[in-house]
Chain A
Amino acid sequence: MSARPSLRLRLVMLTTAAVAVVWLATAYFTWREALHEIEELLDHPPASVEHIAKDRRKLAGEIAEPLLKPMLYALPSLALVLALAVGLALRPLRQLTEDISTRAPDRLTPIDATQAPAEIVPLVQRLNELFAGIDRALDNERRFTADAAHELRTPLAAIKAQAQVAQASGEDAERQRALTQIVVGCDRATHLVEQLLTLARLDALHPGLHALVDLHPLAAEVLAMAAGSAIAGDCELSLDDGDARICGDAVLLQVLLRNLVDNALRHSGAAHIVVGITTADQEARLTIRDDGRGIPAEEREQVLQRFYRPAGTESSGSGLGLSIVQRIAALHGGRIAIEPAGDDKGFAVTIHLPLGETPHA
């Protein structure tokens, strides 16, 4: 229950009061006019009843005319009083409008709903929910920007320090090495910026991806593209049989899989990476399993955090790969699960995605 009466009750009460006041005043003036007419009649009585009968129309007119006068004043004053009453009744609405229209765009504190009339309370509550949502989103954005700037500082510091080492170096070999490290540092900063941009674009997307995508050919394509770095890293990539068709965006799903394969190639030190697609419980399961060094149980929760890099990983990572994967999975109504691949060795990531349509046999 709201602290204030409803707008309807307020309107009804105030208009009834207004009509009553005008009606009472009119009745009083009518009564006075009637009295006056009767006194007139008594002061100048007609000569006879016949006279009255003969002049009844004229007489009625003479009595009615002054009686109608109060009505003539009553109507405009009723309109005036009603206007005042309606204005009074709608005052809470005006206050609310004023409060919202004078708000600074960044002021997202909730509106006081205790003073609002009952009809407006749901609107105010919805607005407050909206404000809270925008506030959270802005807060996330701010934190992300701060984190991103923070993360860029380290590669920039490394590049600058390596450059100054090269400047100060007296030996050619040392200088060459520092210059090579500068290039590595620039590559790393570039990778970080690219991942940041991918994530920023994903954050702006909303669910609603409707094309049908077959996962097996998509995985085959991503793995084919990764073949070069896999061979260079002496790692064997393979794709198990099995397919699933889901509703989604093929480009985003490629980004998802590429990040997972990249992670396994870069950070696990694995000799084998196996991608498999299965279906169960109305969902498609895309699993990337490696036999690398895995991730300690206590760190498994943290790897999904943005910018988290497990201890001992090479610094080339942005710490954003799994965040990107998680976001894309969420956009498809899916989720990510991380577990050890078994035998205390390696690492398996499974993406659970709702099935779109049963694939052809």
Chain B
Amino acid sequence: MRILLVEDDALLGDALHVGLKQAGHAVDWVRDGNTANTALASEEYAAVVLDLGLPKRDGLDVLRRARAAQQTLPVLILTARDTVDDRIKGLDAGADDYLVKPFDMGELTARLRALLRRAGGTPVPVLSAAGITLDPATRQVRRNDAAIDLSAKEYALLHILMQQPGRALSRAQLEQHLYAWGEEIGSNTVEVYIHHLRRKLGTDAIRTLRGIGYAVPKEAMA
């Protein structure tokens, strides 16, 4: 999933950037409030990890602007402000979750998974469709109970498609979700990953809808 990371502290931002990538996300890291709002307006993110004490524009302000612009993506606030008042203010400004520094990386990624699940409309922790199960917590994929080994990008692509089985996503949409800024995107990389996934999961695991995009069918083909 593509995550926007808003953190002005170089060292912490670096750790989060690497840590979220380790958890399989594509991460765009911005360091001030203005850039955060610009990024939110121009790109499509699955979720935002937002620090509050930011230069130029405060994190709460970034959040209020995003909500005012009808951006409904999940927002997790990450901050050193820990009073109950602060938390209430953060949640009331439109945050979905609130984590106080110092935090546990495992907890942060678990909370993100929970937020992404809710946002995807599937509260069940393990996704399943077309005879495939995908567990975001362990990043394990099984087909008919046999474990399948996937690369990071293959996994990410399958995860996006399996969040809404039966719904087709265009190549451009998939690229949006898969790549952070500065990552090289080959002209046919999505096709290449789809090809790999079909090879590992079976050709009927991912359908191509000509002129529309790709989808994982809800039910396995008989």
Residues of A in contact with B (beta carbons under 8 Å apart): 150-151, 153-162, 164-165, 168-169, 174, 178, 181, 184-185, 188, 310-312, 314-315
Contact = CB atoms under 8 A, between A and B. Distances in A.
Nearest to B11: A158
Q: Which of A151, A157, A165, A184 has the most CB of B within 10 A?
A: A157
A178 B14 CA distance: 9
A164 B19 contact: yes
B102 A165 contact: no
Nearest to A149: B80
Contact of A162 (B14, B55, B81, B106): B14
Contacts of A160: 102-105
* Category for how many chain B residues contact A: 20 to 34
Given A161-B12, A161-B15, A165-B19, 4 more contacts: A162-B11, A162-B15, A168-B105, A311-B56
Given A155-B11, A174-B18, A181-B15, A164 B105 contact: yes
A101 to B, nearest CB: 35
B16 interface: yes
Contact of A157 (B8, B18, B56, B103): B103
A312 to B, nearest CB: 7
B13 to A, nearest CB: 8
Contacts of B101: 153-154, 156-157
B60 to A, nearest CB: 16
A153 B102 contact: yes
Given A150-B80, A178-B18, A315 B104 contact: no
Contact of A165 (B8, B18, B100): B18
B90 to A, nearest CB: 15
Contacts of A178: 15, 18
B11 A165 contact: no
B22 A158 contact: no
A156 B14 contact: no
Given A157-B101, A160-B104, A165 B15 contact: yes
